[in-house]
Amino acid sequence: MATQRRKFTDQQKLDIIQQVSQQGVIAVLREHNLSYSVFAKWKKKFVPNSNSSSSSYSPNRARSELRQLAEENVRLKRIIAEQALEIELKNEQLKKMGTSHNK
């Protein structure tokens, strides 16, 4: 059974676009049960020169975010490596304790 397609008036679409600028994309799209692609089409139609991305997004900001993500990735990998070493050491200690108790 196919679901019926919802129809939004131009005013409703504009209201949703304005809500996004106030509340954020994810929250508004979830509230109205919309996909990002639908929102991007509306924004392209109603907001001139939007290019379906936020106007404050720039290449410098993208580089900065990429650098932050890379640093966080390195930090998390270090944490995982340390935990793996600790687990390995504990396993070795348990093996030694197990063999000494069996004698």
Structure tokens at 82: 């340390």
- pLDDT at 10 exceeding the cut of 70: yes
pLDDT tens figures, 15-70: 999 998 888 899 999 999 999 999 999 988 888 776 545 445 567 777 888 899 99
Q: Is the pLDDT of residue 9 over 80?
A: yes
- Flag whether the pTM goes above 0.85: no
**8 Å CB contact between 21 and 14:** no
Helix (H), strand (E) counts: the chain: 4, 0
